[in-house]
Chains A and B, each alone.
Chain A
Amino acid sequence: MSTSRIDRRFVACAAEGRAALVTFVSAGDPDYDTSLAILEALPGAGADVIELGMPFSDPMAEGPPIQRSSQRALRAGQTMAKTLAMVRAFRAGDRDTPIVLMGYYNPIYSYGNEAFLADAAAAGVDGLIVVDLPPEADDELCIPAAKHGLNFIRLATPTTDDRRLPAVLANTSGFIYYVSILGITGTASPDTSKVAAAVARIKKHTTLPVAVGFGVKTAEQASAIGRTADGVVVGSALVNAIAASLDGDGRATASTVGAVTGLVGELARGARLARVAAAE
């Protein structure tokens, strides 16, 4: 496969001797305009890869922060068409930062798989993470996505043993997302020594970059994980920052965008410090 925007970005971060910072926000949280402003500010704040959540009413693998984020976006009228429009608007001003859409299968299936893949590729989406599509369902979306030049990023978890890992990796491209805990997003914090062992185990089976997420909240954690992983994913902490910035009626305030970019800046410094610390 020819190199994608995602491939190029991980290569560039590796060349700088650091892990990539992968940031998650839900599209349309807390409203379309504010969400687009956050999206446009993320690369400048230090995000290397953007995961943009496609809001879903029933996000089974998410903890309360991302559940609430998804609900805020839906209440504000977010739809799949608006999420794709948001990517188009972002892409008009940024040709380099990879965007990965993350979510659940039903809103995609409802949109129509082929129409979704065509529209996502045309909007400037680079990859997809669909939580409830395991490798057993690759014919649904994963293989068709490759035909549209979209990376399909698979989650590997602590329950993905060496016997199963090749199946998980088979049609994966872009990067591997290692889920560092047994559980849902934004709850327990990962044990960094176990994460390092897991990353090493996965790397025996693939040359793809390995990004680690679920439970990463602080610059210190980002730094610790960034010592061994190729990328660090932060989501719940960012949507919590959005939530904390809203007014009493749940509306965006003048501080909402800054709350996210401020935290992303800290996390980026953490991710950058990782290899410096490791080298010392």
Chain B
Amino acid sequence: MNIILDDVNKTYDKHVLKDISLKVHHANAIAIIGKSGCGKSTLLRLLSGLERPDSGYIKIDETEIIEKNIKSYQDEIGMVFQQHNLFPHLSLYENIMFILTKGKKINKDLAASLSKRILTKLHLEDEMDKKPKFVSGGQAQRASIARAFVTDPKIIFMDEPTAALDPILTKEVLDTVVDLKDTGTDFIFVTHELSFVSDFADYVVFMNAGEIIEHGSVDILRNPKTKDLRRFLQNERSIHVS
């Protein structure tokens, strides 16, 4: 995938993204990292079209992310949120069926076979008839990955998909994502799991205080050029060691 960002700004109560510019060519998995509150989730929301920038230009592959393109663009991408965000009154299977039949307008028979296939692929065949409340947080998050993946998206966006999970469930979910890497889908994700970034991403964007401080291949995690990234990596590693 290719990404072009040019002077992108976003303000809520404070200026969250400040004149962000970036060009990435031929990346398959882009990780956005940085401290909490640095603007990385906001950037992901702008890239996925969930929100619009106050100013600036965003283009992903051939699509400029502007109002008139949002619906067709979002039709071709998938989204995994911090919480699983499954509909609580529907089973895991019904959650996926609902999106396929009512959102994507796929006929019931095909939707049923796609739903069962993806849930089986993500090892949820025994849980598919349970409601989200009756499965573990990791299983629910895997089901939400299944929901994002079942539509065969070009890109999957993941906003700290393991933020609400303990370390064991985090590993379970990240292993699932790794299994999906060779399916031809590209990934853009925000995470604090640096070991996952090292193993999975081929491009890393480091943000601090609403700005992109450093970006490049995953090597920047081993050889950071800026003091900010160096300090961030030291802090993250000390948190994980302790």
A, B in one complex: no
